[in-house]
């Protein structure tokens, strides 16, 4: 089965084409980062307009890259939410139009499911059940996954998402958007033990996260300094990064032990952070857990992860109707398991 997946929930217009959930035939991402950088973050109206301009060229390029046409596509998949409503509508309506004209079934998939299942684009695939930590610009959540379509929410952020905290701290330090990659670059040369920033563990046994106190603590620290040299910027970056990933990795390991499973998955844009991959890897090894992660290319938003989620949804459920709507809050995120 050839599946074409489209992702347009935020500031990337992406298209992936896969054979089943096994082989990526093409993968094209048009990032709007340079456009939004001038504003220090994503401007929703500009994002929607840019998706309109780029969606056709992105899909056309993806088809050409693997020498296919729409006549070769068996199933379409598209992100229906969560994300920016205007941006999501471009992808969903584009797919609905192809579905109607070419008579190809389509499925509207959840962006969080896409991130969670992006690990199956890796050579080291996990087996179910597993605990997955999905950390991105919009979410920091822990799931217990028992199949390709069953995910139980164990915890979520109560305020800022991990990626959002990286972006806000980076802005404070005068770095360009998006801040995650910038902070992780500076952190490489900084001392992660230099500043003891607070870790928010919340109540005993809670798998929720909170990063806004940490962000305020970094802001207070920065405002107290006479000047921020390159050296102090690197130390702040490394110490802040360590505070975020300490909590993310500790809670992922605790959640796996709590659920009695031996597999841990790390996904989402923040999964591209090398120090998080290293620390979680180390902690999983000492706890006797196997860690699987998507390749770097598939950590941030892409169309291949939507193909994987769409493939399994199509195998398990009816295709989506033409009156399907987009949504800004994921149903996967509504209720934390008791």
Using CA atoms, how far apart are residues 230 and 227, in angstroms rounded to an integer? 10
Q: Three-class SS of residue 197?
A: coil
State which of residues 16, 114, 126, 163 lies at the interface with ligand KG4 (CB under 6 A). Answer: 163
Q: Yes or no: say if 93 and 22 are a contact pair by the CB < 8 Å rule.
A: no
**Closer to ligand KG4 at the Cβ: 26 or 141?**
141
Sheet holding 140-147, edge to edge: 150-156, 140-147, 130-135, 263-267, 290-292
Binding footprint of Zn ion, residue count (CB under 5 A): 2
- Taking the complex as a whole, the smallest distance from the CB of residue 301 to Zn ion amounts, in Å, to 4
Which residues sit opposite 30 in a β-bridge?
13
State which of residues 180, 301, 302, 332 lies at the interface with Zn ion (CB under 5 A). Answer: 301
Q: Yes or no: say if 208 and 336 are a contact pair by the CB < 8 Å rule.
A: yes
Angular region, 139: left φ>0, alpha ψ -120 to 50, beta rest: beta
- Taking the complex as a whole, the smallest distance from the CB of residue 244 to Zn ion amounts, in Å, to 17
Contact call for residue 207 and ligand KG4 (CB under 6 A): no
Q: Yes or no: say if 101 and 76 are a contact pair by the CB < 8 Å rule.
A: no
Using CA atoms, how far apart are residues 192 and 184, in angstroms rounded to an integer? 11
**Closer to Zn ion at the Cβ: 208 or 301?**
301
- Applying CB under 6 A, the span of 34-42, 145-153, 176-184, 225-233 interacting with ligand KG4 comes to 176-184
- Taking the complex as a whole, the smallest distance from the CB of residue 187 to Zn ion amounts, in Å, to 22
Using CA atoms, how far apart are residues 71 and 135, in angstroms rounded to an integer? 36
- Applying CB under 6 A, the span of 94-102, 161-169, 209-217, 225-233 interacting with ligand KG4 comes to 161-169
Contact call for residue 99 and Zn ion (CB under 5 A): no
* Binding positions for Zn ion, 134-163, rule CB under 5 A: 136
Nearest to 241, CA basis, from 212, 273, 271: 273
**Closer to ligand KG4 at the Cβ: 129 or 180?**
180
Q: Yes or no: say if 270 and 180 are a contact pair by the CB < 8 Å rule.
A: yes
**Closer to ligand KG4 at the Cβ: 55 or 248?**
248
Q: Which does 126 bind (CB under 5 to 8 A by kind): Zn ion, ligand KG4, none?
A: none
Contact call for residue 303 and ligand KG4 (CB under 6 A): no
State how far Cα 155 lies from the chain centre: 16
**Closer to Zn ion at the Cβ: 136 or 273?**
136
State which of residues 138, 155, 303, 310 lies at the interface with ligand KG4 (CB under 6 A). Answer: 138
Contact call for residue 81 and ligand KG4 (CB under 6 A): no
- Applying CB under 6 A, the span of 85-93, 152-160, 256-264, 268-276 interacting with ligand KG4 comes to 268-276
Hey, what long-range contacts does 282-290 have (CB within 8 A, 24 or more apart)?
283/249, 283/250, 283/253, 284/253, 284/256, 287/253, 287/256, 287/257, 288/262, 289/253, 289/256, 289/262, 289/263, 289/264, 290/126, 290/262, 290/263, 290/264
**Closer to Zn ion at the Cβ: 79 or 99?**
79
Contact call for residue 304 and ligand KG4 (CB under 6 A): no
Residue with tokens 């006479």: 226
- Applying CB under 6 A, the span of 42-50, 174-182, 254-262, 316-324 interacting with ligand KG4 comes to 174-182
List contacts with ligand KG4 (CB under 6 A). 10, 136-138, 163-164, 166-167, 178-181, 184, 268-270, 272-273, 300-301
């Amino acid at each position: 089965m050839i599946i074409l997946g489209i992702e347009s929930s935020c500031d990337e217009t992406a298209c992936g084409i896969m054979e089943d959930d096994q082989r990526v035939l093409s993968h094209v991402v048009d990032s709007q980062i340079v456009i939004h950088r001038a504003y220090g973050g994503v401007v929703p109206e500009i994002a929607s307009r840019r998706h309109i301009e780029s969606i056709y060229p992105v899909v056309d390029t993806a088809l050409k890259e693997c020498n296919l046409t729409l006549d070769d596509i068996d199933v379409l998949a598209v992100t229906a939410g969560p994300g920016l409503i205007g941006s999501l509508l471009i992808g969903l309506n584009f797919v609905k139009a192809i579905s109607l004209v070419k008579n190809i079934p389509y499925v509207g998939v959840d962006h969080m499911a896409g991130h969670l299942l992006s690990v199956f684009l890796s050579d080291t695939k996990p087996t179910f059940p597993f605990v997955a930590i999905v950390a991105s610009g919009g979410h920091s959540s822990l799931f217990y996954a028992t199949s390709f379509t069953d995910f139980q929410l164990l915890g979520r952020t109560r305020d800022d998402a991990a990626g959002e905290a990286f972006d806000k701290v980076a802005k404070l330090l005068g770095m360009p958007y998006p801040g995650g990659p910038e902070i992780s670059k500076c952190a490489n040369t900084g001392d992660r033990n230099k500043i003891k920033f607070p870790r928010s563990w919340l109540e005993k046994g809670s798998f929720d996260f909170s990063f806004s106190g940490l962000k305020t603590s970094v802001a207070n620290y920065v405002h107290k300094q006479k000047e921020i040299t390159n050296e102090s910027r690197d130390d702040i970056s490394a110490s802040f990064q360590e505070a975020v990933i300490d909590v993310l990795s500790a809670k992922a390991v605790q959640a796996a032990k709590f659920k009695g499973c031996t597999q841990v998955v790390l996904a989402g844009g923040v999964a591209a952070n090398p120090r998080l991959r290293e620390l979680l890897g180390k902690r999983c090894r000492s706890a006797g857990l196997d860690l699987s992660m998507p390749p770097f290319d598939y950590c941030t938003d892409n169309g291949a992860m939507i193909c994987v989620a769409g493939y399994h949804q199509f195998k398990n459920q009816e295709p989506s109707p033409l009156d399907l709507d987009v949504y800004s809050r994921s149903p996967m995120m509504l209720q934390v398991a008791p």
